[in-house]
Amino acid sequence: MRSIMPAAPALPPRLHLLLPFALPCAADAQYALQDLEKPALEKLLDRATLAERVVGEDFQRTLPHERWMARAFDATAAKNGAAADDEAPLAPYMMLADGADPRDAIWACVEPVHVQVAHDHLVLIDPQALELSTEEAAELLATARPLIDELGIALSAPTPLRWYVSSESLGSLAGAAPLRAAGRNIEIWLPHEAHTGARSRAWMKLQNEVQMAWFEHPVNVAREARGLPAANSIWLHAQGRRQALRRAFALVLSDAVASRGLALAADAQIGAAPASFEALRRTLAGAPGAWAAGPVLVELDMLSAAFIQQDWHRFRAGFAALEAHWFAPALAALQRGELAGLALTLCGDTGSATLNITPRDLRKFWRRRPFTSLLLE
């Protein structure tokens, strides 16, 4: 008689959901969350144990979810001597995810951006709003490459949408994440020497020459004719050196290049972020061995663009989708005992909060932690 093997479970014992920009500040909450129905999330938070709450500071140059990922994989700046303890030197891991080998050099990520002239200052727009195609980026890169070579700066461009540069002349530059500076006066966010605060002459020279070369570039002329913003500058950030990491998760499902790179460097498996909790089931059922050695991280980046653009109608729609497609099914899975544990890391513009929930915690009806208690001032 043929024995029938039991089906592999469709969920890992431990699941961690990372949610960038899911935690608006208290001042914005009245627009972002007022009267928004989120019973599943509220119940999860009510019963959860608060594992970590990081308030953060207004002028940190990286984003809370970036710093959280760097800490989780032990890739912090304090470890490799880069800018400051709160920074996330992610460029070498981004480079790895893009298909290039960072070796042991210090690399920084460079991206084409649009800088808008305001009344008396310059403003960086959300890089996603630029909607630069790979073909357009390749043409702009071809123009910029000789300028970079002339300065003796090593260039790797596994994708024309993101370049990586390495040079002693760039020193230990600290640059701000594009989304950190987006929508703001760029003056305080421009790259500077981490230890002295001085501007890098080499970077300023390169940036100025690229800006001049791209002025009236055929790509930008065609874009402006279509009513699109021009790629009129470049932005440097995430400088650091690759280090040996600890494997915080067995499987990382994310569309963020930095998160995927950290996972690869730590010998974890990676995949795309699922569209829903049920899609996660299908993904894991198809690869049961992927998470056998540890927990699974899913990064759900559904709110970033709306948050950065202060589009609270769109933000609320995204939050409602998270409630329906993630929080409610995850709560049901916990109630059925299909998950041994669920962790939520909710991030905002400056800080984050991580909470842990087990099936046993759901029976602790006396616990109460409203979502508003996590909001930052």
pLDDT in tens, 46-83: 999 999 999 888 888 999 999 999 999 999 865 554 44
Give the model confidence (pLDDT) of 207-224 as tens digits: 999 999 999 999 999 999
pLDDT confidence tier of residue 107, bands split at 50, 70 and 90: very high
Kindly state which CATH superfamily the domain 14-75+247-374 is placed in. Answer: Alkaline Phosphatase, subunit A (3.40.720.10)
Beta-bridge mates of residue 17: 298, 344
Most confident of 126-130, 259-263, 302-306, 366-370: 259-263
- pLDDT higher than threshold 80 for residue 362: yes
What are the backbone angles phi and psi of residue 164, rounded to the nearest 5°? -130, 130
**Of 319, 345, 348, residue with least CA distance to 63:** 348
What is the rounded distance in angstroms from the CA atom of residue 251 to the CA atom of residue 212? 44
pLDDT at 372 over 70: no
Question: Within 13 Å, how many C-alpha atoms sit on residue 373's CB side?
Answer: 10
Q: Are 373 and 65 in contact (CB under 8 A)?
A: no
- How would residue 1 be classed by pLDDT, with cut points 50, 70 and 90? very low
Q: Which of 22-31, 271-280, 306-315 comes out lowest in average pLDDT?
A: 22-31
Average pLDDT, the chain: 89
Asked whether 371 and 68 are in contact (CB, 8 A), the reply is no
- Is residue 367 very low, low, confident or very high in pLDDT (cuts 50, 70, 90)? low
- For position 180, what pLDDT does the model report? 92
Q: Which residues contact residue 268 at a Cβ distance below 8 angstroms, ignoring those fewer than 6 apart?
A: 247, 248, 249, 250, 251, 252, 294
pLDDT at 202: 84
Given the DSSP bridges, would you call strands 173-174 and 192-193 parallel, antiparallel or unpaired?
Answer: antiparallel
Q: Is the pLDDT of residue 41 over 70?
A: yes
Q: How far apart are CA 222 and CA 224, in angstroms?
A: 6
Query: What pLDDT, on a 0 to 100 scale, did the predictor assign at position 115?
Result: 95
pLDDT > 90? residue 233: yes
What confidence score (pLDDT) does residue 80 get?
52
**How many angstroms separate the CA atoms of 83 and 89, rounded?**
8
> Confidence band (pLDDT; 50, 70, 90) for 102?
very high
Task: Give the mean model confidence (pLDDT) for residues 294-310.
Answer: 93
Closest CA to 334 of 45, 35, 22: 45
- At residue 78, the pLDDT reads 54
Residues of the chain with CATH 3.40.720.10: 14-75+247-374
| Confidence (pLDDT) at 8 | 44
Percentage of residues in the chain having pLDDT higher than 90 = 67
Q: Does residue 248 carry a pLDDT above 70?
A: yes
DSSP 235-267: EEEEEEE--------SEEE-S-HHHHHHHHHTT
Confidence label for 377 from pLDDT (cuts 50, 70 and 90): low
* Res 121: pLDDT: 87
Tokens of 249: 């998760």
Give percent above pLDDT 70 in the chain: 92
| Residue 376 confidence (pLDDT) | 61
Cα–Cα distance, 243 to 32 (Å, whole number): 39
Give the model confidence (pLDDT) of 304-345 as tens digits.
Answer: 999 998 899 999 999 999 999 999 999 999 999 999 999 999
How far, in Å, CA of 175 to CA of 308, rounded?
18
pLDDT confidence tier of residue 28, bands split at 50, 70 and 90: confident
Residue 9 has pLDDT above 80, yes or no: no
Sign of the four-CA dihedral 88, 89, 95, 96? negative
Contact status, residue 49 vs residue 371, Cβ threshold 8 Å: no
Residue 98 has pLDDT above 80, yes or no: yes
pLDDT of residue 168: 83
pLDDT in tens, 152-181: 999 999 999 999 999 887 878 889 999 999
Cα 26 from chain centroid? Answer: 22
Q: Provide the whole-model pTM.
A: 0.92
